[in-house]
Structure 1
Amino acid sequence: MEIETNGTRIHVKDQGSGALALVFLHYYGGSSRTWDGVAAALPDRYRIVATDHRGWGDSAAPADGYGIADLAADAEGVIEALGLEHYVLVGHSMGGKVAQCIASRRPGGLEGLVLVAPAPPTPAVLTDEQRATLAGAYQSRESVEFVIDHVLSARPLDATLREQVIEDSLKAAPQAKAAWPNVAMLEDIGAAVTSIDVPTIVVCGEHDQVDRVSTLQAELLPRIPHAQMHILPGTGHLSPLEAPGELARIIARFVAAIEDKTAR
């Protein structure tokens, strides 16, 4: 499905028909299909919506507009176009920072927030060399494979998932690849996220080298003090691919608790 929003075209996977929707926002390097394993392991009573950020997957790739507010506006447009009245945002890494931005605005219909290995709301502290390395991480098959093995994952991915990560990483538009390390990662939404008031969980991989547990404990949790943290043992940054079943169980428990509270 293609949805025109915020001056661009966003590709959306929409399945199920439950009253509560789970809206999935992917990481830097991924696409809507990053969530396929998690979606398959969730109870079928939920509507599952997963987007490709602009410049990623099968979405259009405009020349500019890759800041956090732009990506948030794209997702908000999808939510509005689909008429979602009750939903939970699930954001991974870059998508986690976008989800924080959306939730900070307290939109009507938002029932909860799941942050999976989220980028913190404060600017990432990187040297120029580190930023250049990150910007070049998805330029060739060899560079993607190196990042998978040495940075992104702690558990080995099977051949199909490994190929999916390589394809998604290479497919993205150059401007989308450049914008995260050079623009969006450096944005500071730390003050804004203090207004998040919906139930929130933060799910971290024990061995995540990208958005480390210690970083999130220092930069995110003090700003969303009601958030609960869950640590996935033996897992790296790619928990939706490394541990989809475990992640789905955490999400399902969290969402069920929201539903129980709403029903009272």
Structure 2
Amino acid sequence: MQVNINGIETRYVLSNEGGGPWLTFIHQLGGDLSVWDQLAGYFRDDYTVLRYDVRGHGNTAVSGQPFSVDDLSNDLAALLDALGAPTTHLVGMSMGGMIAQQFALNHPSRVDTLTIADSAARTLPEGRAVWDQRARTARSDGVAALVPTTLGRWLTPGFQAAHPEAVEQIREVLAHTLPEGYAMACEALRDFDVSSKLGSIRCPTLTVAGRHDSGTPPAATRAIADAIEGAQFELLDAAHLAPIEQSHRFAALLETFLERPV
């Protein structure tokens, strides 16, 4: 399905077989909504599951001008408005986790619960050059040039060897991400910093990290939990895409978390 959100044609998939509460998944940089296929299938009987392609990713159009994570948060708010969702449980991975944090700060009354995986509350000054370099590479050589090193960060060698079909799908989506969409997202993540504001988040929060994540060390995700009162932190035996690599364990954690009394 396509809908125009803030002037951008945006792809989304809505699975509401269960007709239950809204549950929204937000993908990583260089990903698209397909990364959530398995988890969406797990939850669709009990929730109204929404997945969408962030601007410049998948089948969502590239922005005509630079944008911030705050803008990406506003895209999500407009999408929920268009679909008639007053509130949602929110799950974000990596870049999606940054968007989820920003959304929870901007629209606290619309978040039932917040789940953040393999993400950070800010980019440290010494990390800004990494985002600039990735943006330059995407623009000059295409995102395909970043695939080998990115997959090495995203998934452990053991998972890559055991699940070649899943890895190939992730590889294809990454390699075909539009260079300008990827580059502008890199620049948005470079400038992201909500670390001083997280204490104002009051919704139930679960954070999940991969033990072998070299790109976003588990300590960065734990720091989010430490900043939000009552937040839960879990460590999985995975690299950066922990909810995908440990999908059964993540689904069990998320199911338990969503069902706890609020």
Regarding TM over 0.5, the answer is yes
- Of 171, 179, 184, the match for 1:166: 171
Cα gap change, 1:84/1:203 in structure 2, threshold over 3 Å: closer, same or farther? same
**Unpaired stretches in structure 1, ≥5 consecutive residues:** none
Number of the residue aligned with 1:3: 3
Calculate the aligned-residue CA RMSD, in Å: 2.1
Number of the residue aligned with 1:50: 51
Give deviations 1:62-85, integer Å, cap 9, x for gaps. Answer: 222431011111111111111113
Q: Please, what TM-score do these two structures have when normalized by structure 2?
A: 0.88
Aligned residues: 255
Number of the residue aligned with 2:12: 12
Higher helix proportion, which one? 2
Give deviations 1:241-260, integer Å, cap 9, x for gaps. Answer: 21212111111111111xx4
- Of 246, 252, 256, the match for 1:253: 256
Q: Kindly provide the amino acid, as one letter, of the partner of residue 226 in structure 1.
A: G
List structure 1 runs of 4+ shifted beyond 4 angstroms.
none
1:101 aligns with 2:115: no
Q: Aligned partners of 1:69 and 1:109: how far apart in 2?
A: 16
1:243 aligns with 2:209: no
Cα shift at 1:32: 0.4
Q: Is the 8 A contact 1:208 1:236 kept in 2?
A: yes
Identity of aligned residues (%): 25
Q: Kindly provide the amino acid, as one letter, of the partner of residue 90 in structure 1.
A: V
1:68 aligns with 2:69: yes
Q: Please, what TM-score do these two structures have when normalized by structure 1?
A: 0.88
Aligned pairs for 1:68-217 (under 5 A) are 68-118=69-119, 120-126=120-126, 130-135=130-135, 136=137, 139=142, 141=144, 143-149=146-152, 151-154=153-156, 155-157=158-160, 158-217=163-222
Cα shift at 1:165: 1.6
Cα shift at 1:33: 0.6
Number of the residue aligned with 2:225: 221
Q: Is the 8 A contact 1:203 1:232 kept in 2?
A: yes
Q: Kindly provide the amino acid, as one letter, of the partner of residue 101 in structure 1.
A: Q
Where 1:115 maps in the other structure, the secondary structure is strand
